[in-house]
């Protein structure tokens, strides 16, 4: 009788035991459904094996026929394309790779487009706990969020040999993100990037669990739908991975971390209700599995995951050339206006000690040659007062008048550095031959500043 009573008490205790976050269960039962997503450019890969790897993130299988949830930003290069480009920052040219956008290619700091293309998502699905216990599949982007909600739906379609996939996958359990409460324990599951390198190295990076609590909500980064906050660690590579609640079901998608506090930001899983609605088959199956209409959803819109058109490298660089020419034309026009009051004159070196501007009575256009190798050395002044020169160099074109046909011909070209903040500058030049010279000065931007002539007469015997 006592044994029966004890058994009854024990069973009653088990029945009343509160369920909680079971990380061992999650890791052992659902690791086959938590996937790594690698972004590969097949065109680059054909040109140079290993060069096609563009990045990675996480995701999770939500149906047994291979539908996958992840973040929109993880697979944006598959839909919007990407661009490798050079840009100017602090007078230094650097190279970067980013998601393609019209805003980016219109950025004034963009110097040159080097490559444009699209990536395809390669999904790494583990079937065992070992580092080599996985298979790779090609997926297609079915739908993405078009508003602030950072979600995307993929579908595993082929293996790497192009054979259509028919196997059944292990989906993770779907929970209700509207049912979690502040203070509840959470588990972030995914593939944070512990190192950088090639695609083959990225495949060796194994899954990681990180624990924390549901810290609250954020409606600044996403004013409409909001984010779930957590102190569980979220790192690059975690993006798109599942977040489990105390029901041991997925209630969110690890998305980002706050730039100031480092608090993790999670997209509520219920938002995927609208993203999956693009695909009727997927949506029906997901609703049957528990995907729930979100209570707050005014910002969630979805579009098909079709590739959006992008410009070629030649088109972008042509746009850059036109933009730069327009910018330079505007600068030249402003400089030309700046030089309307400039003066160009000549003086003896002895009349302007230390390069000071000589008085008007010592400014000449006729000189008599002296003796020796420096017989025609004259000081040339350019004065733009009261305006600064606003250029870092000047181009000086010195031409000599021909006594044969009365035309000017090139005698000497000079490029000289000047201080753009100064209103005047000077240089010394040896007008060696007895002749009439024309001196024309342009800014480093090839804007005409001023021209004047001087005559060098032979020394009387």
Identify whether the C-beta of residue 225 lies closer than 8 Å to the C-beta of residue 299.
Answer: yes
Which range is most confident: 41-55, 62-76, 207-221? 62-76
pLDDT digits (tens, 9 = 90+) for 72-109: 999 999 999 999 999 999 989 999 999 999 999 999 99
pLDDT at 417: 96
What torsion do the CA atoms of 266, 216, 247, 245 make, to the nearest 10 degrees? 30
Residue 109 backbone dihedrals phi, psi, to 5 degrees: -80, -10
- Whether residue 68 is predicted with pLDDT greater than 70 in this model: the reply is yes
pTM for the full predicted model:
0.78
Q: For domain 18-81+118-307, give its CATH number from 3.30.750.24, 1.10.1040.10, 3.50.50.60, 2.40.10.120.
A: 2.40.10.120
Identify whether the C-beta of residue 395 lies closer than 8 Å to the C-beta of residue 414.
Answer: yes
Per DSSP, the residues of 25-73 read: HHHHHHGGGEEEEEEE-HHHHHHSTTTTEEEEEEEEE-STT-EEEE-TT
Mean of pLDDT over the chain: 91
CA 189, CA 191: separation in Å to the nearest integer?
7
CA 208, CA 31: separation in Å to the nearest integer?
10
Is residue 297 very low, low, confident or very high in pLDDT (cuts 50, 70, 90)?
A: low
pLDDT at 194: 83
Domains of the chain by residue range? 18-81+118-307, 339-457
Residue in the structure block whose two tokens are 């015997």 = 461
Q: For domain 339-457, give its CATH number from 2.60.40.1930, 3.40.140.10, 2.40.30.10, 3.30.70.1380.
A: 2.60.40.1930
Q: Which of 23, 20, 19, 18 lies closest to 232, judged by CA?
A: 23
Per DSSP, the residues of 384-449 read: -TTS----SEEEEEEEEE-TTTS-EEEEEEEEEE--TT-SEEEEEEE--SSEEEEEEEEETT--EE
Count how many Cα atoms sit within 13 Å of the Cα of residue 178 in the half-sphere of its side chain: 13
Higher per-residue pLDDT: 19 or 200? 200
Is residue 224 very low, low, confident or very high in pLDDT (cuts 50, 70, 90)?
A: low
Domains 18-81+118-307 and 339-457 share a fold: no
Contacts of 133 (CB under 8 A, 6+ apart): 126, 127
- Whether residue 54 is predicted with pLDDT greater than 90 in this model: the reply is yes
Lowest mean pLDDT, pick from 50-59, 219-228, 375-384, 409-418: 219-228
pLDDT at 299: 67
């Amino acid at each position: 009788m006592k044994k029966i009573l004890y058994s009854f008490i024990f069973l009653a205790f088990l029945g009343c035991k509160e369920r909680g976050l079971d990380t061992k269960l999650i890791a052992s039962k659902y690791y086959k459904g938590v996937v790594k997503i690698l972004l590969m450019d097949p065109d680059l890969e054909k040109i140079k094996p290993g060069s096609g790897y563009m990045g990675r993130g996480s995701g999770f299988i939500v149906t047994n026929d291979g539908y996958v949830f992840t973040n929109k930003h993880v697979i944006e290069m598959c839909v919007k394309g990407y661009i490798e480009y050079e840009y100017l920052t602090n007078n230094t040219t650097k190279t970067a790779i980013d998601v393609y956008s019209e805003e980016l290619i219109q950025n004034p700091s963009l110097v040159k487009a080097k490559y444009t293309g699209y990536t395809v998502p390669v999904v790494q699905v583990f079937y065992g706990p070992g580092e080599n216990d996985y298979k790779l599949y090609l997926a297609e982007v079915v739908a993405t969020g078009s508003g602030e909600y950072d979600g995307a739906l993929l579908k595993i379609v082929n293996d790497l040999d192009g054979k259509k996939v028919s196997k059944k996958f292990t989906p993770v359990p779907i929970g209700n993100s509207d049912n979690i409460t502040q203070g509840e324990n959470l588990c972030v599951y995914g593939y944070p990037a512990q190192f950088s390198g090639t695609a083959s190295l990225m495949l060796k990076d194994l899954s990681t669990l990180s624990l924390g609590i549901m810290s609250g909500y954020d409606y600044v980064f996403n004013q409409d739908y909001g984010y779930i906050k957590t102190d569980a660690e979220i790192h690059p590579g975690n993006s798109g991975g599942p977040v489990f609640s105390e029901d041991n079901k997925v209630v969110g998608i690890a998305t980002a971390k706050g730039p100031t506090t480092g608090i993790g930001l999670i997209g509520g899983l219920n938002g995927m209700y609208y993203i999956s609605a693009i695909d009727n088959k997927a949506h029906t199956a997901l609703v049957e599995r528990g995907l729930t209409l979100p209570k707050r959803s005014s910002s969630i819109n979805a579009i098909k995951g079709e590739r959006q058109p992008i410009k070629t490298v030649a088109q972008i660089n042509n746009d850059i050339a036109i933009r730069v020419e327009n910018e330079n034309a505007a600068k030249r026009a402003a400089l030309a206006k700046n030089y309307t009051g400039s003066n160009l004159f000549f003086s003896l070196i002895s009349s302007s000690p230390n390069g000071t501007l000589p008085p008007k009575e010592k400014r000449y256009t006729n000189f008599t040659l002296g003796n020796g190798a420096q017989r025609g050395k004259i000081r040339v002044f350019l004065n733009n007062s009261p305006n600064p020169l606003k250029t870092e160099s000047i181009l000086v074109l010195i031409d000599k008048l021909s006594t044969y046909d009365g035309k000017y011909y090139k005698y000497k070209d000079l490029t000289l550095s000047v201080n753009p903040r100064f209103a005047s500058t000077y240089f010394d030049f040896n007008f060696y031959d007895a002749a009439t010279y024309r001196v024309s000065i342009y800014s480093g931007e090839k804007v005409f500043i001023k021209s004047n002539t001087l005559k060098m007469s032979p020394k009387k015997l």
